A and B are shown apart, each in its own frame.
Chain A
């Protein structure tokens, strides 16, 4: 196992484009020389076209903020560092480029940890800049000292301890480049205060990722040929699009491939939006709460063509029963994902778009899978995603999601927290565009939704709507960020699906703990509509079906942060459900099937 120099066919043209734009965009002639380490840090960000950064001030990071004072980079002060990390993370999902967050040493840095871990699990490009006590005090248990590089080493692609003002700019550039390169992920640069304050006149050079981490973009030709033959011969082929399709900006290639060979598509949750969910070929997303038809297709396919996915346990359920009859073609840019969880019969290491194009070139015959496609359509009819709305029961959350979806355009960005509301949002919103579903998948971070909506709002086009579908428990975890949305006049709409429970826990307690609802009741939450008004946002409370559409329209129309507190049926559960470690094909449709 060794590493290679980049072989991206785009590298040259990108470089050429950068040179052309260079003098105009970065305005080299106008740039004043840097005088300190902190100015060099900010210059490195400017050189890479960073437009926004999210953070919280504090003692050890003050020199960096002082350098930001003179910069055009838009800084959004967040209420809590966790919010800064999530906002930068969501920014990176929407823009498909690394987001930047800042925090001071000690508690500032440790507050970032959840957000960095979240970005790490979801392969989101993120650069965290943390202040540190002066280098000569490191190790002395100084005020607000934490071993930040030690704490974050397991949850970053790599982290750096800056030790010299002359090189700190290049270090930041390298960290930024590494965050976005190949399989994206978080990086961190720890900046001792004296390094930031030290004088230097060294301008940071062009940002280059480290030599030792260069990914392989182009797969081995022979491997492609063998995989192509397997696809031609398949009788029940199934495409599985993961978040990697979107990260690789390969949505066009992926869609073209599916249409050309008429292969049904299942996505993972981070892969939502890689393929239009309203298309006949699309079986929506698979896994624990995925659609019945997606899970049936995975269970019965004879060739699973997986692109940019790491076969998370929430997708696979029990390994022994996952796609039990399928050979697996696994396309991924990270060699370590090949055969990590699911053995790959046809591993293809490379960039998703390049590999799919090459496969396309190598395939001569469309697999004959008419019967299989019919079968997939039959499953769609057999296991419809639907819900009852009996008159004698409170408002159903699925209904709220559908009304929101209908009231907004296809390019609307949806963020969510974690729990039942997240599943209903993912199930009942029809996503058709990539980078419109922004959620915490791998880490499952409650509280992700609101700061993510802030980051998404900053990253999005002005005419794109940003909707946060949140739960009562999730919303309360990061609700302080509402003050940021108000201060920055951000047009976001928060729809709280409030069932007065930490609902997914309640659902599991009912199913697996004989209904002992220990610490699951959340009827002590504040009234979110009033709290929103107290923050300076607009707030509504909705209890009835006939109030939903009006409140949604008013909230979407309001040019600023708005919160609708939907009081939904507390008894509603998320189905289908594959119990933890169970077989995908044995999903339960009701509680008595668990």
Chain B
């Protein structure tokens, strides 16, 4: 490698290296897309973002929620909602997340979640999963009868009815909730609180890999299915 004698360095540029210039080199035609996938004209080149519902079974370690929130934020995963609550197993919680990412991003989010120590198991729910969200709506109390009628129509409940405001509770999938909110706009919506999705797999399917429905009071053992 060396050129201690200055003779051999005569053809070298003083500050740089010798060799064919970039434009004189052969360059292949191929390309990859932004997700690092070779662009094969026969295959779809780019993945469009889609919504995915992820469910994670986690240990109630201190700060588990902040670890998950931090992961989403530092890896720039687009999160729509996150709900968390206890399970029948002491010290375990279930976290349901809705994210909007292209397929490789969803895959990456799952894998990164799985790496977190408190995460026991994580999986994406199928389209047929049972999912629902809850919303509390506070509207102007001027027309209580009409509010009551619309609430009935959406199978909601009135939680609080005062002289000035009425607060109702509605549950359903995202579309139903959106529709209901539109219907309540006529009364003047004062405040909204939405929970985001919580979900379980349908029937006897496991919600996260390794989880055994029907034995939910026994802790799920981490187990690799790859």
Contacts and interface: CB of A to CB of B under 8 A. Distances in A.
Contacts of A292: 17, 19
Nearest to B33: A320
B104 A590 contact: no
A343 B120 contact: no
A546 B198 CA distance: 74
Interface residues of A, number: 73
B22 interface: yes
Nearest to B25: A585
Chain A interface SS verdict (over half): loop
Contacts of B19: 292, 382-384, 589
A591 B15 contact: yes
B62 A300 contact: no
Contacts of B6: 388-391
Interface in B57-81: 59, 62-63, 66-67, 70, 74
A393 B2 CA distance: 17
Contacts of A153: 63, 66-67, 70
A593 B121 CA distance: 51
Interface string B4-24: 101001001111111111100
A339 B210 CA distance: 24
A341 B36 contact: yes
Contact of B12 (A5, A212, A214, A386): A386
B115 to A, nearest CB: 6
A399 B1 CA distance: 10
A587 B26 CA distance: 13
A319 interface: yes
Interface in A551-585: 571-573, 575-576, 583, 585
A4 interface: yes
Contacts, number: 203
B36 A2 contact: no
B33 A1 contact: no
Contacts of A213: 115, 117
B34 interface: yes
A161 B61 CA distance: 10
Interface string B114-145: 11111111110000000000000000000000
B56 to A, nearest CB: 9
A576 B15 contact: no
A324 B30 contact: yes
Contacts of A336: 108, 111-112, 114-115
A212 B64 CA distance: 14
A216 interface: yes
Contacts of B215: none
A319 B20 contact: no
Interface in A177-202: 178
Interface of A: 1-5, 149-150, 153-154, 157-158, 161, 178, 210-214, 216, 220, 292, 296, 299-300, 311, 319-322, 324-327, 334-336, 338-343, 345, 349, 382-391, 393, 399, 402, 428, 430, 571-573, 575-576, 583, 585-591, 593
7 smallest CB-CB distances across A and B, nearest first, come from A4-B224, A590-B16, A324-B30, A336-B111, A3-B222, A2-B209, A158-B117
